[in-house]
Structures are given as C-alpha cells and as structure tokens.
C-alpha cells in the first residue's frame, strides 16, 4: 500500500503489470491499454507502415455457442477472440493474451462501458493488429512469432473474474465464464495438444493472467489470499503473487503511468490540482513530487522481493514512465533495456530457461533507454 499525500491510495504497485507465466501460463501486457473507470489513457497510435499493419490484421471470432452458458459481455453480446495460427516449430505452442482495458466501479461507469468494446462485442473491431509479443514477424518477435497467438477480448470489466448478473442495471459480469468458455474452445481447436503455453496480459489483462494462471484458483480468488485477507485485497497482485505456483514474469515500469494518473493522484483526491501538471508530464514535477515517486518505486521493488526469490520467476522492472510494454514494437523489441538487454530477449531468456532474468533498474532518471509516455 502506498499512502499518498493527496489522500489517494496507490493500492497496487503491480496492478498494471505485464506478466508472463510459463508452463501453462504466462502473462504479458496488452499494448493499447485504454480507459479505466473514469477516463484513462488516450490511445497512442504507433508508427508503422500501412502495409505492415495490414499484414498483421487478425480477424475476430465470436463465441456465439457460449452465450447459452452465460459467457457474455456486460450487455449480453457474445464474447470473442482473435487467433493467428502458428506454424513450423511453433505449431504446437500457444500464447493466450487476455486483453486489458481498465475496470468499472459503479453503475454509471459500468453502463458507459456497454457502449464501447469494453462492455459489448457489438463495438469490437472486426480485425486488430498483432504486434510486439503477438507479432508474426521474426525480427520483431524472435521467440514467439510462429506460435499460435490468441487474444481474448475483454468485455466483462472485472479482469475475467466476475460471475454474476446485476438486476439493478441489467448488466452481466461474467468474466469467469468467458475465461472458461474461451479456454475450452481453444482447447477444442488445437490447444489441447500444446507442448508450450504462455498466458499473458497487460493492465486489467495482466491482473487476469495472475488471477487465472494457477488453474486451481479459478473460479474464485486464490484461497491462499482470501484465508487471511478480504476479497478486495486479494484482487491486487502484491497480495497473491507470492503464493502462485505457475512461473511468472513481471514486466512493469517502476513509474507506471496508469497508476500515477489513476491511483496515486486521481483527480478526485487532488482537488487543488497540485499534481495535475506532474502526473501528465514528469518534467513538470517538483523535487518533492519526484521524491514521492521514488517512494512509490521503492514500495514496488520491496513488494516483489519475495516473488523474485523464486528461481522460476522472472522480472523486468524498468525506470520508465510507461504502461504496457510488451505489445508495442518500439518497446517489446525496441529501445528499453536493462543492462543492454531488451524486453523481448529478457522474456525469451526466462521462458526458455536460457538465463535467469531478475532485472530491476536503477531509479529515475538513470535509464536513457526509456520510451517515456509522459
Ligand atoms: C455470432 O454473433 C455475432 C455477434 O453478435 C454475429 O454478428 C454473428 O452473425 C453470429 N454468427 C453466427 C454464425 O450466428
Ligand atoms: C511541490 O509540489 C507540491 C504539490 O503541488 C507542493 O505541495 C509543494 O509545495 C511543492 N514543493 C516545492 C518545493 O515547490
Ligand atoms: C512539461 O513540463 C515542462 C516543464 O514545466 C515544460 O517545459 C514542457 O513544455 C511540458 N511539456 C508538455 C508537453 O506540456
């Protein structure tokens, strides 16, 4: 927990993380993470040629047959996924990426999402591009380019974890069923014979990957957490990662921009707007604000200490102002590096056991490889 001077609480230094769980499970991040309960980050288009994007456009598949099982988006429309089949040596390997996209926390913000792709498949893009860890390009994605790569769309607003219908609003919160039905479906179309798998996700999708990677923990929150903490606390990664058995890779910026904007200094907790300039522009932070952000980083680093001591886990905590670095080509296999090792190489080394990866960057501003987004 980070108590902030603004009165807000930064409950989760890890919330936005990207993880990659190996064995049956890895979690990474989703690039175009967008929007939260109220607002959230703007989409940042990345520069690519039209041709290369078109090459990587992957069509949507709706899970119509799962509607009867209640696996539906908030407005009752079918769940959906995008799949790009693997080939060659990767034909029996699977990456399952759980899309991110914030959460909602009251009737107004939840209803709003049913008019977007975060709450209804009616609004989902019929094709999306696969980039970064999802890319089919060997240059951009050397270790995973020829795997089966699937992105399960996020439209339940609770990190693929809820299972209820709210009579008052008429909204479904069926993330758990979407997860189960999508996985069953993927198993039936080839994943059952997978020899390798990686469950990934960023932000709300990263949390979903953590919540689901030990198969036994579904459909509820991990009992290893709920037996001593309340359910809300068990929604936060730092309270559950130590007890997860599946190997996990945490990829997260120490100065996670989503958390700075939405949890550390949300507008409601900052009526005098003392943090407004700083939270959208690190150059506008004064010395005491930077000091505060260093404390935020220190807490995060401390909270992954136990996690890091496990031989099977890996981490890459870089000192950048970023959010979700595994799907943008410019960050996945681009400039950010810790001791000259890029993210794609770090994740690949961990997944394939080529090297131990426990990379924690020195504090801001020492890293000149960042692609800061504020
Ligand atoms: C499946 O559902 C989608 C979205 O509701 C719809 O557009 C499509 O026609 C349905 N497909 C079939 C085969 O029923
Ligand atoms: C830095 O900014 C904070 C928040 O706006 C303010 O309370 C504090 O007085 C400032 N400190 C200095 C040294 O300017
Ligand atoms: C960020 O803040 C610095 C220092 O206050 C200022 O010079 C710069 O113009 C700001 N950048 C943007 C994009 O607002």
Instruction: Answer yes or no: 256 catalytic.
Output: yes
CB of 283 closer than 6 angstroms to any ligand 3 atom: yes
Q: What percent of the chain has pLDDT over 70?
A: 84
pTM reported for the whole predicted model:
0.85
What does each C-alpha distance from 174 to 66, 77, 179, 181, 342 come to in angstroms? 11, 11, 9, 11, 37
Q: What is the mean pLDDT of residues 8-30?
A: 34
- Give residue 248 CA to ligand 1 midpoint distance, Å: 36
Tell me the pLDDT tens digit for each residue of 252-309.
999 999 999 999 999 999 999 999 999 999 999 999 999 999 999 999 999 999 999 9
Res. 65: pLDDT tops 50: yes
Instruction: Answer yes or no: 203 catalytic.
Output: yes
CA-nearest residue, atom 4 of ligand 2: 274
Instruction: Answer yes or no: 323 catalytic.
Output: yes
Kindly indicate the confidence band of residue 2, based on its pLDDT and cuts at 50, 70 and 90. very low
CB of 78 closer than 6 angstroms to any ligand 1 atom: yes
* Closest ligand 3 atom to Cα of 281: 1
What does each C-alpha distance from 243 to 226, 271, 306, 347 come to in angstroms? 12, 38, 10, 21
Give 171's strand partners.
166
- Give residue 289 CA to ligand 2 midpoint distance, Å: 7
- Give residue 321 CA to ligand 3 midpoint distance, Å: 15
């Amino acid at each position: 927990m980070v108590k902030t001077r603004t009165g807000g609480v930064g409950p989760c230094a890890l919330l936005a993380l990207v993880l990659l769980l190996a064995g049956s499970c890895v979690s990474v991040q989703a690039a175009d993470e967008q929007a939260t309960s109220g607002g959230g980050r703007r989409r940042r288009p990345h520069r690519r040629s039209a041709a290369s994007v078109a090459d990587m456009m992957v069509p949507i598949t709706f899970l119509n047959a799962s509607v009867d099982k209640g696996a539906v988006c908030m407005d009752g429309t079918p769940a959906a996924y995008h799949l790009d089949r693997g080939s060659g040596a990767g034909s029996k390997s699977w990456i399952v990426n759980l899309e991110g996209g914030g959460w909602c926390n009251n009737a107004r913000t939840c209803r709003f999402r049913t008019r977007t792709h975060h709450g209804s498949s009616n609004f989902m893009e019929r094709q999306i591009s696969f980039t970064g860890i999802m890319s089919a390009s060997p240059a951009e994605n050397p270790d995973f380019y020829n795997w089966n790569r699937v992105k399960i769309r996020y439209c339940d607003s609770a990190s693929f974890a809820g299972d209820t219908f709210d009579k008052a609003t008429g909204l479904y919160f069926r993330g758990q069923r979407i997860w189960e039905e999508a996985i069953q479906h993927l198993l039936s179309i080839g994943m059952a014979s997978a020899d390798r798998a990686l469950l990934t996700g960023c932000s709300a999708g990263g949390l979903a990957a953590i919540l689901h990677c030990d198969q036994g923990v579904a459909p509820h929150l991990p009992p290893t957490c709920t037996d001593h903490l309340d359910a809300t606390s068990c929604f936060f990664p730092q309270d559950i990662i130590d007890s997860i058995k599946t190997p996990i890779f945490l990829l997260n910026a120490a100065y996670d921009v989503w958390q700075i904007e939405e949890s550390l200094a949300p507008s409601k907790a900052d009526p005098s707007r003392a943090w407004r300039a700083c939270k959208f522009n690190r150059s506008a932070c004064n010395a005491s604000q930077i000091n505060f952000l260093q404390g935020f980083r220190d807490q995060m680093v401390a909270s992954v200490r136990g996690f890091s001591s496990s031989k099977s886990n890996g981490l890459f905590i870089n000192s950048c102002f970023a959010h979700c670095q595994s799907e943008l080509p410019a960050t996945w296999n681009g400039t950010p590096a810790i001791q000259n090792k890029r993210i794609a190489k770090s994740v690949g080394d961990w997944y394939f056991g080529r090297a131990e990866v426990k990379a924690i960057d020195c504090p801001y501003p020492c890293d000149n490889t960042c692609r800061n987004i504020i």
